[in-house]
């Protein structure tokens, strides 16, 4: 068997996330259907992680295995012809059998986009939130996220993860005109973690929560203490880091 990585991007609007679900459209299902049709064999695909309903990926990796010697450019072209416009294949390349799309990932980076002025063109790819925000205070709160911590306060309840400890190496807000961009990088993320962090940062930015109060939220290890989870359409999985890729 030969193992291949796929580098792709997708607009999450029409999908209920990456992972195959019984009665809902998913990105994984579309990729597996296209691969199986082109290669004329049943192909299963392993993704680098889950994304929730409506969440996008500007960079995503998946792997599959086949006995065939794949013609990479031809397969990429045919898959792009078959896939919906919301899914784009950027590259297909062979890897060693020990490289796993999910378990070999060393870090992941997410972006969250907020527009503070009404925009007629990107309202489906970012969240419109016009209320004034003090970005400096939000960035002070972000410094408290750095390092290894128990992030239970920012995790969806009743998940099956074995630990809620994650190591965040980057967390910051930047303003570009009327747009705010949140960037966060970690070795792993909990379910709903980024959207809950963003929602809590916004409370700091609006003056409803102090920076000291943000620390108290982290220490509480209680989802009830954190802010609301912001909408998924502003969230992007932006980068996956592997050794050798």
* DSSP 8-state assignment for residue 88: E
Q: Which 3 state secondary structure label does DSSP give 62? A: strand
Contact 217, 202 (CB under 8 A): no
* DSSP 8-state assignment for residue 153: G
**pLDDT digit string (tens) for the chain, length 245 residues:** 999 999 999 999 999 999 998 899 999 999 999 999 999 999 999 999 999 999 999 999 999 999 999 999 999 999 999 999 999 999 999 999 999 999 999 999 999 999 999 999 999 999 999 999 999 999 999 999 999 999 999 998 766 678 999 999 999 999 999 999 999 999 999 999 999 999 999 999 999 999 999 999 999 999 999 999 999 999 999 999 999 88
pTM, rounded to two decimals:
0.95
Alpha-carbon gap, residue 61 to 158, rounded angstroms: 27
Contact 109, 183 (CB under 8 A): yes
Domain 107-241 has what CATH class?
alpha beta
Q: Which fold has domain 2-95?
A: Alpha-Beta Plaits (3.30.70)
Contact 12, 51 (CB under 8 A): yes
Catalytic (active site) residue 52: yes
Q: Which of 24, 52, 91, 150 is catalytic?
A: 52
Domain ranges of the chain: 2-95, 107-241
Single out the residue of 240, 238, 244, 243 nearest to residue 102, CA to CA. Answer: 240
Domains 2-95 and 107-241 in one fold: yes
């Amino acid at each position: 068997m030969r193992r291949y990585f796929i580098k792709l991007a997708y607009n999450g609007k029409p999908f209920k996330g990456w992972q195959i679900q019984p009665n809902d459209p998913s990105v994984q299902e579309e990729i597996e259907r296209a691969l199986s049709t082109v290669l004329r064999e049943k192909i299963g695909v392993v993704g680098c992680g889950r994304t929730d309903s409506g969440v996008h990926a500007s960079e995503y990796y998946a792997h599959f295995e086949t006995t065939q010697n794949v013609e990479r450019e031809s397969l990429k072209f045919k898959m792009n012809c078959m896939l919906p416009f919301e899914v784009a294949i950027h590259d297909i390349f062979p890897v060693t059998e020990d490289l796993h799309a999910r378990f070999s990932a060393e870090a992941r980076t997410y972006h969250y986009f907020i527009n503070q002025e009404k925009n007629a063109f990107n309202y489906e790819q970012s969240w419109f939130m016009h209320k004034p925000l003090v970005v400096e205070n939000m960035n002070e709160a972000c410094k408290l996220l750095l390092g290894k911590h128990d992030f239970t306060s920012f995790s969806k309840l009743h998940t099956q993860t074995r630990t809620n400890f994650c190591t965040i190496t980057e967390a910051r807000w930047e303003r570009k005109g009327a747009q705010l961009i949140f960037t966060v990088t970690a070795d792993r993320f909990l379910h709903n973690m980024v959207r809950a962090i963003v929602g809590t940062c916004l409370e700091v930015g609006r003056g409803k929560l102090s920076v000291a109060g943000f620390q108290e939220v982290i220490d509480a290890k209680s989802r009830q203490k954190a802010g609301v989870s912001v909408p998924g359409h502003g969230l992007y999985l932006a980068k996956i880091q592997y050794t050798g890729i």
